[in-house]
Amino acid sequence: MQYLGRIGAGIMVLGFFLPWINILIIKFSGFDILKMMIGVAGEEGLSLPGYAYGIPLMLILPAYALASNKAPILRIAGVFPFIYLGVVVLMVASSLGGMPPMEMAGIGLWVTLLGGICAFVGSYKVDTPTNDEDISEGPADADPENPV
Which runs of consecutive H residues, i.e. helices, occur in 17-146? 30-44, 54-68, 71-96, 101-104, 107-126
> Between 35 and 76, where is the model more confident?
76
Compute the mean pLDDT over every residue in the chain, rounded to the nearest whole number: 77
Average pLDDT score over residue span 103-121? 86
Q: Within its chain, how far is the Cα of 37 from the centroid?
A: 20
- 56: Cβ–Cβ under 8 A, 6 or more apart, which residues? 34
For residue 35, the model assigns a pLDDT of 81
Answer positive or negative: Cα dihedral of 125, 127, 133, 136. negative
DSSP 9-24: HHHHHHHHTSEEEEET
When pLDDT is averaged across residues 3-19 and rounded to a whole number, the result is: 89
Residue range 78-99: mean pLDDT, rounded:
74
Specify whether the backbone of 138 is left (phi greater than 0), alpha (psi in -120 to 50) or beta. Answer: left
d(CA 55, CA 90) in angstroms, rounded, equals 16
Compare 59 and 125 and report the one with higher pLDDT: 59
Q: In whole angstroms, what is the distance from residue 34 CA to residue 138 CA? A: 50
pLDDT at 31: 83
4: confidence class by pLDDT, cuts 50, 70, 90: confident
Task: Please say if the pLDDT value at position 73 is more than 70.
Answer: yes
Q: What's residue 14's pLDDT?
A: 92
